[in-house]
Amino acid sequence: MKRFKILGTGTALPKRVMTNADLEKVVETSDEWIRERTGIHERRIADEKTSSATLGARAMKAACDQAGIEPDSVDAIIVSTSSADAIFPSTACWVQHELGIRGMPAFDVAAGCSGFLYALEVASSMLSAGTCKRIAVIGAEVMSKVVNWEDRTTCVLFGDGAGAAIIETCEEDRGLLASNWGADGNLAPILHAPAGGTRMPASAETVAKNLHTVTMQGRSVFRHAVRAMTEAGVKAVEDAGLSADQIDLLIPHQANMRIMEACRVRLNVPEEKMFSIVHRYGNMSAATIPVALHEAREAGRVVDGSVVAFAAFGAGLTWAGAVVRF
């Protein structure tokens, strides 16, 4: 068991709401198609000046405020993102810049939508090893700036937002009861941004062809996602030695209601025990789990002693499962 307690959580969500009806004016789609295929009703869209670090810093500040601590009192900042501020430096360093703090290590974890659970695994291992005592774990995304707004098969799926959790080492039996993570890079081509890195540097041609944006083989991702996410969730619950009825809440990665439902059914968790925000925010990639966690805590669905199962999949492909006692 990797022990930690949550001191505070927080979110940052852009004010602008884009509904499915708004999207009907952008691409050839319909509210009905989007709801039926994904469960999404609306998403938030950041303004021109807002980056992933802007939202990440705001979420971290909110989590620190809830914890009653100053941002510069954390021993490390880990940001998980699929929509980094730039190739370098890390979005975590830009979060420091936004907050005007310095000194503690700050780095990113790139694992697509599994990023927050990857970051939690890294952070809790650092706490267990005694490397740090208090860590800010952030999921921050401005996906609206990395999707192709002419591609109806992808642009309707994503949204912007950030969530953060401040975790601290503790003696009590709280923290990760079990966790697993994995990846299959052979599947990288089914969900990626082809250009803008060293594999295919940005050029006038790549920009003209929108090759710096999300490119996805939706059906293939769907198939692998259902398998990877459910297996990761089931393994985490089994490794924790728990039965389904001992899980107080399931928080899956919120990409698509159909994928979330498949995971819930396989885990044998009743409908009312799955926490869902996908209808309001769409797929915020690495930010969906920390935003859902914060909203679940605010709603009184995660309290002292709650046992929560998490499961995620993302670009890579990556996957992760975790069971946390709060």
Is 37 a binding residue for ligand ACO by CB under 6 A? The answer is yes
Helix 52-67 × helix 91-99 angle, to 10°? 60
Q: d(Cα 273, Cα 282) in Å, to the nearest integer?
A: 20
Considering beta carbons, is residue 75 or 261 the nearer one to ligand ACO?
Answer: 261
Among 24, 31, 33, 107, binds ligand ACO (CB under 6 A): 33
Whether 186 is a known active-site residue: answer no
- Looking at 64, 93, 113, 263, which residue is catalytic? 113
189 contacts 172 by C-beta, under 8 angstroms: no
Q: How far is the CB of 3 from ligand ACO (least distance, A)?
A: 30
Site for ligand ACO in 126-185 (CB under 6 A): 152-153, 156
Is 324 a binding residue for ligand ACO by CB under 6 A? The answer is no
Is 113 a binding residue for ligand ACO by CB under 6 A? The answer is yes
Strands (DSSP E) along the chain, which ranges?
2-3, 5-12, 17-19, 42-44, 76-80, 106-109, 134-142, 160-168, 175-183, 191-192, 215-216, 249-252, 307-314, 318-325
Find the part of the chain contacting ligand ACO (CB under 6 A) among 30-38, 59-67, 72-80, 171-179: 30-38
309 contacts 249 by C-beta, under 8 angstroms: yes
Find the part of the chain contacting ligand ACO (CB under 6 A) among 29-37, 71-79, 182-190, 194-202: 29-37
230 contacts 267 by C-beta, under 8 angstroms: yes
Whether 97 is a known active-site residue: answer no
CA angle (22, 298, 323) in 5-degree steps: 100
Catalytic sites, residue numbers: 113, 253, 283
Positions touching ligand ACO (CB under 6 A) are: 29, 33, 37-38, 82, 112-113, 152-153, 156, 191, 216, 218-219, 221-222, 225, 255-256, 283, 285, 314-315
